[in-house]
Amino acid sequence: MPIFDIQISPDEPVYVISVVSKLVTLPVWTLRQLDKAGIVRPKRIGKKSRLYSLKDVRRLEYVHYLMEEKHVNIHGIKIILEEQDKK
């Protein structure tokens, strides 16, 4: 049986919302709110499905840290990330 060494770009949207929810330990409804706030922009497939990239997952890990460890709300997170994105 052949072994495949698959290389996926960090920008490639491949993760569905339920998988991302488990990876970053954030509820699906929170991920939807973060999308609505523009903190993470998953690729839309059809009207309802969202696909996240590895970069999105890493960003969400940081968002989770800010929410849980630093007690920053979504509005504060958006400001922090906008400032970091400018750099």
Domain formed by 15-86, architecture: Orthogonal Bundle (1.10)
Alpha-carbon distance values, 61 to 6, 11, 26, 48 (Å): 23, 16, 9, 23
pLDDT digits (tens, 9 = 90+) for 56-68: 999 999 999 999 9
The beta-strand segments (E) located in the chain are: 15-16, 43-45, 49-52
What pLDDT is attached to residue 56?
98
Domain extents for the chain? 15-86
Residue type, 5: D
pLDDT digits (tens, 9 = 90+) for 18-49: 999 999 999 999 999 999 999 999 999 988 89
In the chain, what percentage of residues exceed pLDDT 70? 99
Of 42, 44, 61, nearest to 53 (Cα)?
Answer: 42
What pLDDT is attached to residue 87?
79
What pLDDT is attached to residue 35?
96
